[in-house]
């Protein structure tokens, strides 16, 4: 299981326009390492809660096998939450995003809209807890973001500056 390909080209182009090879990136919920593959020039760390996925990750400076809710870190220029917050309850997702907001220049949050999903490939963390997300609900629960790319099924947001 990996993240969706929808909008990735546009988001990668935006990242390449706004960040350099000297910037550091944290890929939260790295899963199959898609962001690492798409952005090979940047220094990137990964967070992955599911150990079988984490063991397969290559090319990252560091791989943290843990729940993002408990990870402490100082600073990343960009933090990517690719298909992550829908797997968390609202309070945990808000806390994680608020913690990250103080520790980065920008962040990208990718979410599917109204997408039900259970366990996948023996990974219980693949279940969608927030399967009710819509653009309106996202904006209500997670203020301070603006759209980078969106269609009727999926969106990428980043910090409104």
Instruction: Encode pLDDT of 95-143 as tens digits.
Output: 999 999 999 999 999 999 887 765 678 766 666 678 899 999 999 999 9
- Which CATH number does the domain housing residue 112 bear? 3.40.50.150
Task: State mean pLDDT over 27-42.
Answer: 94
**Contact assessment for residue 71 and residue 47, using Cβ atoms and an 8 Å cutoff:** yes
Q: For residue 17, what are the domain limits?
A: 8-159
Answer yes or no: is pLDDT of 29 > 60: yes
**Residue 3 forms part of a structural domain:** no
Instruction: State the total domains in the chain.
Output: 1
**Residue 69 forms part of a structural domain:** yes
Instruction: Say how far apart CA 153 and CA 160 lie, in whole Å.
Output: 21
**Contact assessment for residue 142 and residue 109, using Cβ atoms and an 8 Å cutoff:** yes
**Residue 2 forms part of a structural domain:** no
């Amino acid at each position: 299981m990996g993240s969706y390909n929808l909008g990735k080209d546009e988001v990668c182009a935006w990242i390449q326009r706004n960040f350099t090879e000297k910037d550091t990136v944290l890929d939260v919920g790295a899963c199959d390492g898609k962001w690492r593959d798409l952005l090979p020039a940047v220094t990137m760390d990964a967070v992955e809660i599911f150990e079988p996925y984490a063991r397969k990750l290559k090319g990252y400076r560091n791989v943290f096998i843990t729940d993002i809710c408990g990870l402490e870190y100082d600073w990343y220029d960009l933090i990517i939450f690719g298909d992550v917050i829908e797997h968390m309850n609202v309070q945990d997702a808000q806390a994680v995003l608020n913690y990250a907001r103080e520790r980065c220049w920008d962040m990208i949050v990718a979410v599917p809209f109204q997408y039900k999903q259970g366990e996948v490939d023996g990974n219980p963390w693949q279940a969608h807890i927030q399967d009710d997300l819509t653009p309106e609900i996202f904006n209500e629960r997670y203020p301070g973001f603006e759209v980078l790319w969106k269609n009727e099924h999926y969106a990428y947001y980043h910090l409104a500056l």
